[in-house]
Structure formats: C-alpha cells, structure tokens
C-alpha cells in the first residue's frame, strides 16, 4: 500500500494525499476503452493507484481481462474488472461510469501525421462513442485517440444523434502538450518542471498546438523561441522517431491522461479552482467557424464549469494562433463531415 500510494503522490502531488480519506465517500467508476494498448496499460495502472477511483473497468478488442487480472493484484482498494470484446462486454464496462477514457486506435509510424490516422481511428472512435452514448450518456468522455482535433467532433456528433450530447462533458485530452511545454521550458530556464504550468491553447497536432510562454512570464527570442515552439508543437514526432516504428508516446501520455482524470475527479468531488487546458466545444472562436478549441477550462461537478478566454498574447503568439485557427477549422470540419456521411 505504501509503495503504491507513494508512487501516486509523486505523480500528482500533496493534494492527492489529503484526498485519501475523503475518497471513501466517493464511489467512482472509471472506464478505459483500449485498455490493453501502449497507453491503455500504464494509464490503467496509474488509475489503479488513484484513491479517488473505486472501480476500474477495462475494455479492449483483445487482452483487457489479462491486463485487469494483473492490475487487480495491486494492493489499493479499487475493484478492477476486464471485459471481453462483445456488445454485452462494452455495455457492462461503460454502465455507471463517471469517466470514460478512450485511447483506442492505431498510433503513428515515422513519416505519418496524426491526420493520417483518421481513416482508421475515425470509425473506431465513432463505434466506441456510440456505445458510450447508449450505456454511459452522462459520463465525462475523454478522447485520447488521434487525430483529437477530428475525433472529438465525431464523438460530439454521435452524442447529438443519440440525443444525449452534453458539451460540458466531452474533452479532448491535450494535457501532454502542457506537460511537454512545461518540461521543455524548465530545461531552458533550469527551473523545477513540477512548478511549471505553461498554458497551451488550440488543438493537438503540429501548428494547432500554441504554447503561451508570455502568460507564465517568460520571454524567448529569435531562434531559441522558434526552436522551443517547434519542439512543443512536434514533441509527438520526437517520440515517434525515437521509437522507430514501434508507436508513439505511451508512458508520458498515460501520465497526462491520468492527471486529467485526476483533475476531473477532484473537481467532481468538490475541489474548487481546478483548471486544465483541454479541447472542448468552445465559444471562443465560433465566430470564425472554429467550434472546438483548447484553452484553460475550469472543471466542476458538471464537467466544464468555465471556459477561460485566451487572454493577452504577444504579437508572435497571435501569429501562431492565426495559423492554428485555420488548420483547426479544417480538422474539425473533416470530423463533422465523416460523422455526417457515416452515422
């Protein structure tokens, strides 16, 4: 127990320890779809270490019962169950879930963009979203599967068609961009990365990822600034290249997904002022036809509590935002068109 709790607290901080006693009163079922994958396994492990989770439901087209059996031996209180791939299996997995994390789908290989995953992952996400709309319509749905800029709109359209869409409960997980932006600035400034929290807005691919250093009081100039921005925007490619065909970021993504789920749970369990950047149905740039956008979002018991505006930008950040909005609009429309043609 001690080791498990220590591992959790080193990831999520002291707040986690304070929450331990409060957690008993909160029965929270969390489901992971794609739980046997590169992200799914470590994500499920981190969720098992989270005392706010009382039940962990794992689903995959293959291997979920094995992952569940393994994780279930960890000596934390939550109950873990793995489900076989079947209509009944996914229904039971989702039923009663408060949070549904979806990392199901194929990852990139070197030379591919996230958009190159669209043809495979769009229908995987559509089908899982259909199951969620049916069996857990009130859950918070956290989309990890790429391309997030398109898979989130697809999920929204599925929920709309089923008559259960709640924009406050659908999230594209962009936390890894914040994690990277924070880590990379700490390397340049020799600060403790755990104390950095760089706001990242826009979406989750290439030029749609816009880090806002100025809002954390940092100024980088010239080549150093451009290299930093490029590294944040293409951090995913760095991992894809390094893995040489064996997939994309899994471990850092698992940490980021677990952190976002933890933030939602904290907010659901009454903590105020929980803020995470995330890709949501957003009013900020709707007048420019960009219907989903990642910015700082205050979370609450009902999911999205308040979408913060992006705030003051430097001229350079403004120019990045303009490129972002153009790309993002295309990615969103692509997802919506797929839904229109395939639902």
Ligand X SMILES: O=C([O-])CC(=O)C(=O)O
Q: Residue 328's binding partner, choosing from ligand NAI, ligand X, none, with beta-carbon cut-off 5 to 8 A by kind?
A: none
Strand partners, 263: none
DSSP tag of 132: H
In angstroms, how far is CA 133 from the centroid of its own chain?
A: 19
Pairwise CA distance, residues 57 & 59, whole Å: 7
Q: What radius of gyration, in Å, describes the C-alpha atoms of the chain?
A: 19
- Give the interface size with ligand X as a residue count (CB under 6 A): 10
Q: How far is the CB of 232 from ligand X (least distance, A)?
A: 10
Pairwise CA distance, residues 145 & 99, whole Å: 16
Residue 38 annotated as binding site: yes
Q: Residue 240's binding partner, choosing from ligand NAI, ligand X, none, with beta-carbon cut-off 5 to 8 A by kind?
A: ligand X
Report how far apart, in Å, the C-alpha atoms of 53 and of each of 84, 108, 160, 179 are: 22, 30, 28, 23
Out of 103, 235, 277, 300, the only residue in the binding site for ligand NAI (CB under 6 A) is 103
Determine if 325 is a binding residue for ligand NAI (CB under 6 A).
Answer: no
Residue 60 annotated as binding site: yes
- Give the interface size with ligand NAI as a residue count (CB under 6 A): 34
Query: Is the Cβ of residue 65 or residue 257 nearer to ligand X in the bound state?
Result: 257
Could you write out the DSSP letters of every residue in 220-276?
A: --HHHHHHHHHHHHTHHHHHHHHHTTS-S--HHHHHHHHHHHHHHHHHHTT-S-EEE
Pairwise CA distance, residues 5 & 17, whole Å: 8
As to burial, measured by CB atoms within 10 angstroms (0-12 exposed, 13-18 middle, 19+ buried), residue 10 is exposed
Pairwise CA distance, residues 248 & 211, whole Å: 21
Q: Residue 106's binding partner, choosing from ligand NAI, ligand X, none, with beta-carbon cut-off 5 to 8 A by kind?
A: ligand NAI
Determine if 175 is a binding residue for ligand X (CB under 6 A).
Answer: no
Out of 67, 93, 100, 148, the only residue in the binding site for ligand NAI (CB under 6 A) is 148
**Helices 64-71 & 40-48, crossing angle to 10 degrees?**
30
Asked about 204 being catalytic, the answer comes back as yes
The residue range among 123-131, 163-171, 181-189, 216-224 that interacts with ligand NAI, by the rule CB under 6 A, is 123-131
Binding mask 98-117 toward ligand X (x if CB under 6 A, else -) reads ---------xx-----x---
Query: Is the Cβ of residue 157 or residue 237 nearer to ligand X in the bound state?
Result: 237
Out of 200, 239, 297, 332, the only residue in the binding site for ligand X (CB under 6 A) is 239
Residue 40 annotated as binding site: yes
Nearest C-alpha neighbor of 301 from the set 266, 276, 277, 275: 266
Residue 114 annotated as binding site: yes
Active site residues: 204
Annotated binding site: 34-40, 60, 108, 114, 121, 144-146, 180, 253
**Which residues in this chain contact ligand NAI in the complex, by CB under 6 A?**
33-34, 36-40, 59-62, 103-108, 117, 121, 124, 127-128, 144-146, 148, 173, 176, 204, 247-250, 253
Annotated binding site for NAD(+): 34-40, 60, 121, 144-146, 253
């Amino acid at each position: 127990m001690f080791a498990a709790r220590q591992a959790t607290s080193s990831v999520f901080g002291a707040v986690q320890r304070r929450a331990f006693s409060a957690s008993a009163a909160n029965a929270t079922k969390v489901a992971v779809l794609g739980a046997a994958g590169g992200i799914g396994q470590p994500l499920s492990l981190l969720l098992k270490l989270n005392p706010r989770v009382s039940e962990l439901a794992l689903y995959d087209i293959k291997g979920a019962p094995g992952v569940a059996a393994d994780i279930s031996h960890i000596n934390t209180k939550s109950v873990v169950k793995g489900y076989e791939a079947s209509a009944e299996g996914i229904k039971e997995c989702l039923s009663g879930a408060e949070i549904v994390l979806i990392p199901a789908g194929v990852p990139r290989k070197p030379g591919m963009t996230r958009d190159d995953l669209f043809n495979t992952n769009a229908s995987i996400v559509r089908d899982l979203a259909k199951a969620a709309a049916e069996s857990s319509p009130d859950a918070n749905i956290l989309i990890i599967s790429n391309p997030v800029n398109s898979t989130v709109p697809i999920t929204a359209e599925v929920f709309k068609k089923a008559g259960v869409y709640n924009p406050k409960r659908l999230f594209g997980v962009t936390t890894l961009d914040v994690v990277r932006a924070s880590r990379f600035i700490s390397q340049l400034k020799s600060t403790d990365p755990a104390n950095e929290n760089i706001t990242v807005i826009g979406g989750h691919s290439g030029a749609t990822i816009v880090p806002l250093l100025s809002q954390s009081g940092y100024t980088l100039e010239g080549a150093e600034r451009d290299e930093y921005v490029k590294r944040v925007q293409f951090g995913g490619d760095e991992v894809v290249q390094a893995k040489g065909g064996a997939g994309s970021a899994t471990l850092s993504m698992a940490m980021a997904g677990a952190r976002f789920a933890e933030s939602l749970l904290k907010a659901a369990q009454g903590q105020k002022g929980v803020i995470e950047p995330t890709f949501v149905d957003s009013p900020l740039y709707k007048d420019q036809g960009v219907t989903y956008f990642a910015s700082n979002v205050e979370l609450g018991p009902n999911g999205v509590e308040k979408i913060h505006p992006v705030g003051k930008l430097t001229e350079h950040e403004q120019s990045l935002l303009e490129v972002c909005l153009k790309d993002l609009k295309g990615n969103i429309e692509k997802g919506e068109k797929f839904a229109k043609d395939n639902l």
